[in-house]
Amino acid sequence: MRNAFVRSLMRLAAIDPRIVLVTGDLGFGVLTPFKERFPRQYVNAGVAEQNMTGLATGLAREGKIVFTYSIANFPTLRCLEQIRNDACYHRADVKVVAIGGGFSYGALGISHHATEDLSIMRALPEITCVAPGDLWETEEATAAIARAPGTCYLRLDKSAAPPTHAEGERFALGRARIVREGDAATIVASGGILAEVLAAAEALAGDGLYCRVISMHTLKPFDAAAIAAAARETGGIITVEENTVDGGLGGAVAEACLDAGVAPGFFRRIGLRTGFSCVVGSQPYLRERYGLDAPAIRAALLAALRGLTGVKKPGGISR
């Protein structure tokens, strides 16, 4: 996803000199083409993410559209106060970009596991919060947040779903995308975990269960109408996020259902429920370990459907 982001940002910078990229002393290989082509639109702020965010806000207040860039928790949680008080409060055109969402840097441990950021960033006032699921969504989201006024958060993943867009399709912030049709149930995903969801949906189709799959690429503003429709038109809803279930995608979906006064046939949240993710390993390994991979998603949906018919659920599906 980071390569797709840089490609899109370079196209934007070529036509708009207001675009500025500020890095927290990383990304030299992938950012080198940007630095060489746009030296006056590139700043290395060093390993000082709080200062990076303050600098970005100052540049934005002078008319720039500033993208800050660092790994996972560092441009977000480390400088949350600066994002809140400097950027969001002033509605500054600061676009916070975190690479390595979820378990992308799983082998580096808890300091690099970005598993609360969606919940925390979504809670801030005056912010747009985006987690694209595939490379097309990544490129389109980059352009969209550059156009959007105010502060934005873009969470990028090392993994990505295969292409999901139709020819001529238009991307819009705050508008969910139905990437697979079905009415047995709806599976809602944010971010690169969409790949696992699509694999689960394909396996469920082999079981004769055709599920609607929604890419909820924008957590804020949230497409509540798409969720209300899913609750009415399909058998139930399961949410999948590489994030804690506390305050993340699952919470947003539950809120949307209650606000709309609709109740899905069943509702399940798949995400982290075990506190800190203290296990280390590759992203696929950690997804399997914490019940976030395609087999676990398929099993959870089958268990939920069995529950509707009164059949006893198998054990070990509650993650």
**pLDDT tens digit sequence for 261-312:** 999 999 999 999 978 888 999 999 999 999 999 999 999 999 998 876 543 3
From CA 264, how far away is CA 301, in angstroms rounded? 13
Q: Annotated catalytic, 49?
A: yes
Q: Report the percentage of the chain scoring pLDDT > 90.
A: 92
**Residue 274, in any domain of the structure:** yes
Q: How confident is the model at residue 27 (pLDDT cuts 50, 70, 90)?
A: confident
Which CATH number covers residue 51?
A: 3.40.50.970
Q: How many domains does the chain have?
A: 2
Q: What is the pLDDT of residues 101-152, one digit of tens each?
A: 999 999 999 999 999 999 999 999 999 999 999 999 999 999 999 999 999 9
pLDDT at 106: 94
- Statement to judge: residues 114 and 229 lie in one domain: no
What's the pLDDT at 251?
A: 96
Give the pLDDT score at 309: 54
Could you say which of 49, 196, 241, 242 is catalytic? 49
Domain boundary among 155, 187, 209: 155
Boundaries of domain holding 129: 2-155
Q: Are residues 241 and 194 in the same domain?
A: yes
> What pLDDT shows up at residue 313?
33
Residue 286 within any structural domain of the chain:
yes
* Residues of the chain above pLDDT 70, percent: 96
Is 63 a domain residue? yes
